[in-house]
Amino acid sequence: MPRKRRELYNKEICACSIFGAMNKDGERFNAAGVMRAIANMHVRGNGLGGGFAAYGIYPQYRDYYAFHLMFNGKTLQSQISAKAEFEQYLNQRFDVVYDEEIPHRPQTQLRDPPLIWRYFASPRKRGEDSRLSDDEYVVRTVMHTNSRAEDAYIFSSGMNMGCFKGVGYPEEIGEYFMLDQLYSAYAWTAHGRFPTNTQAWWGGAHPFSLLDTSVVHNGEISSYGTNRWYLEMYGYACTLQTDTEVIAYAADLLLRRQRIPMEIVAKILAPPIWNAIDTMNEKEKKLFTTLRMVYGPLLMNGPFAIIIGQTGRLIGLTDRIRLRPITAATKGEMFYLSSEEASIRLISPELDSVWTPSGGEPVICELNSRRV
């Protein structure tokens, strides 16, 4: 076989890899199995982005927001300068109880790792800010930092959870941050990236996170411009150079700020086509017509499969005609979501149940709940 043709068969050029695992009893486990599972989908990536989100990893600081920061200056001195400037801003708005450089392997082949730090802090609100909820206060801090601060980027800001990501294969990112040695979580998500039309940089890797909501995504959001315009009206600053960012912010807007149930959120992001709405009974037709009218700019066009992590639950969702794959499975109290069934069976060979969710229908697993 000619070399160029053989190379085409050696790459999966249409799909990233996503994986999620959750123990419904809340028992924590390290990332070793998740790292093996996402590495099993190695050919879906090309080493330009990988990452993990983990829930329940900071029990000793469970009442504090955990900020994970990247300082992306081209030199160590510029990174240190950006860190000092950010800390001056942070200390004006929060009480920081502990901070440290996020542990990592000192020797690495990863490309241009930035200075990565974490801070555990509680809001210190004054004046008009006193009227804001703590979560909204944190969101505004994140938006201000990511849109205005020089060489500083908040990529994780939830309580008792954290994201770890960078430029590399996901298994390399897991090894770099020693996720299989230093952390135990009741839920993990992971992503291996094959970029389509966005550049490779540490902040552009998945997951994308705001507060305790994290998103890993396979596909491409062709409606990014419209989605971004709508979210910016609500104060979200889309600065991270990728379409996946709008999914995380849309999830925050709908689930946290507007308190819409996930089953309805799914019908906003991946609604039925108009021909299907026309065949519904009058009650359903009214509901879905209203959702399309009110939230039309949040409709996500294009192929996608996503896993949304939040405190206490994992959610899987595909586009309405299922152009990107996702598989769900259970074994005892373990729940899995993956781009490929093989990755689930690699770490859990005997499953109680395994299925392919319908397009546009969310699969929801909740902590301490039998409902999946």
CA distance 145 to 156: 12
| Cα atoms in the 13 Å half-sphere on the side-chain side of 189 | 31
Sign of the CA dihedral running 309, 241, 237, 321: negative
Closest CA to 215 of 158, 148, 147: 158
Sign of the CA dihedral running 125, 127, 130, 136: negative
How many CB atoms neighbour CB 328 within 10 A? 21
Query: Do 20 and 338 touch, CB atoms closer than 8 A?
Result: yes
C-alpha distances in angstroms, 29 versus 75, 169, 197, 223, 283?
37, 22, 35, 37, 45
Residue 183: strand, helix, or coil: coil
Catalytic residues: 16
Q: Checking phi first, is residue 204 left (phi over 0); if not, alpha (psi -120 to 50) or beta?
A: alpha
Distance linking the first and last C-alpha atoms of the chain: 46
271 preceded by a cis bond (ω within 30 of 0): no
Q: Could you identify the residue written with the tokens 């021909």?
A: 275
